Amino acid sequence: MSVEVARTSEIPVGTMKRVTAFGEHVLLSNVGGKIYATQNDCGHQRASLARGKLEGNIVTCPLHGAKFDVTSGRNIEGVRMGMSPELMQKMPPEVVVMFKNMGEIMADIEIRPLRTYKVEFKGDSIYLDKVT
C-alpha cells in the first residue's frame, strides 16, 4: 500500500529531502526532474544521507564520504577519510597513528547498497511503496 510523503514542489532539481514511510527514513532525490527514493541511512554506519551532497545522481555521505547512486541504491565508492598533509604535520604523531588505525578499521566495514522504493505521483503529491 502506497503512502503520501511529500509534494514535488518541496524537492527542486538537485536537492534531497528526508521523509518517513513504513517506519523507515527515506531519502527523496530529484535528479534532473525525476524523483528517486532510497533509504536515507548510509549503508556504512547509518549517517543521514540527507545531510550529504547530491551531485547528479550521486549522493556523498556526510560522515565518511561513501558514494551511492540514488537511482539504483548501488554503492559506487567506499569511505574517504582524508586529511590534508598540512594538517597532518600539525598533529602529534600519536594522533596521526590513531587516525590511521581508525581509517583501516573503517575500511573493513562492509558498505551495503541502499534499499529503494517505488515512487508514484498523484497530482503534486509523491507516494512511496515498498519494492517487493
Backbone φ and ψ for 36, nearest 5 degrees, come out as: -120, 150
CB of 50 or CB of 79, closer to ligand FES: 79
Among 54, 64, 75, 128, binds ligand FES (CB under 6 A): 64
Cell 497530482: give the residue.
Answer: 123
Tell me if 27 contacts ligand FES by CB under 6 A: no
Tell me if 45 contacts ligand FES by CB under 6 A: yes
- Grid coordinates belonging to 43: 549503508
- Least separation in angstroms between residue 53's CB and ligand FES is 12
What's the burial of 45, exposed, middle or buried (CB within 10 Å: 0-12/13-18/19+)?
Answer: middle
Which residues contact ligand FES (rule: CB under 6 A)?
42, 44-45, 47, 61, 63-66, 79
